[in-house]
Amino acid sequence: MRLVRRLWTEENVTSAGENFRVAESTVVPRIPVRGDRRHPKFYFGLGGGRAGGRHRG
């Protein structure tokens, strides 16, 4: 999720992790800034229990 957040909020992102590598990547169009939030909230669907869990990050 750190990489996704960086791609949404930074330009020319370079990252090499265990599973993904990107070099000089930029996501466009940009997601508009809303107040102090520079990216959308992350929501995850889980395999059981109550739906609507949210990652706060």
Give tens-digit pLDDT for 12-51: 999 998 988 999 999 888 777 778 877 777 777 766 666 5
Please give the residue that has the higher pLDDT: either 5 or 16: 16
Residue 55 confidence class, pLDDT cut points 50, 70, 90: low
Q: Model-level pTM greater than 0.85?
A: no
Is residue 2 situated within a structural domain?
A: yes
- Per the structure, the count of domains in the chain is 1
Is residue 49 situated within a structural domain?
A: no
CA distance 26 to 56: 23
Is residue 51 situated within a structural domain?
A: no
